[in-house]
Structure 1
């Protein structure tokens, strides 16, 4: 799909955003690298500073406000989010309290970044994981919940275009069953403003749905989560 033509103001805002956010990211990446070598929670604080810096740039440079509808979950729950852009991936530590995020396993194999991700507590997901890999993933997730952390997952598996409603990945229902945790679905409409190369002012909304208790059949949990994470999508064209 071709992007609408950007205005000169949108182009200038976007260039300034890229310069400030990614320039600041280089500095924070160096600090993260140093703090990985030191004991204590300095590393975690630096990561959270980086994500807050991203949110500040989104708000004050791009002119994109962030609105939250519904109660932000905490504690041992599984938050299932729509995934339309890098915005929500970067924003999760601002939105949630020290979340443990399910991430593609290959991301944890990237030199430097992978070590930082593992140290923060990301949970690696393999596309075609065998029984051994699945057990390791569930064990890691249970360890994070035992620490009182929120789990977060993108059940569609990857970023999707705003307005599209692909089916959930097959592994989501299995994770739900094995973890036996309540699920809080969350819609987000970041693709309409943030995913474009030249980003547009506006509002990104998170909408948290009703908590879904564990133990539901696969068809029901998938249908309920699918409907809830697409609550901010425009109706499909007829």
Structure 2
């Protein structure tokens, strides 16, 4: 069965170009021309990936992305923008986008990025089909994309969960920010790893008894982060 792509962009020429090249590459496509329409389609239909423009009428791309993740819809998102702005890149990925491409772009590059995201997503899902991980009062169910702290179900974005799972699988090992960025996001910010710090902060808010004195995710000054078992 062909994989389905939702294209959300308000420029007819870009939508037509992407549709042509994606269908030529074997994908099925659907389209939306406003953020509101894109959100409605993404919520009510199943897609393998969403190509989402940042600047959209009614709802912009960051708001669409944010609402989808709040609704626990973890369909991979490739965000497009006419802005070559580092803040937009960090913000988009922080909100749950999987990759980021700046206009103007080559249609072949979009197809290549989509295939890479889908390969990575499928690999992560296969890797996650493993045994339950328990660290003190934290229990992680990789296959279900769920985690509990003191038997309370936690709410995560896809990337937050993948970061937590990666840290947990490497418990006791110091992981650099670059390692985490490469493993979880498969993305190179040329040394800019703020997105990792933001997500670690989010994880601590959810799992740590005291965020000022974390016992699960330790900061190793000058090196990175390490997951520890506070009861050991």
Fold similarity call, TM over 0.5? no
Which structure exhibits the higher relative contact order, with contacts defined as CA atoms closer than 8 Å and separated by 6 or more residues? 1
Of Structure 1 and Structure 2, the greater helix share is in 1
TM-score (norm 2): 0.28
TM-score (norm 1): 0.28
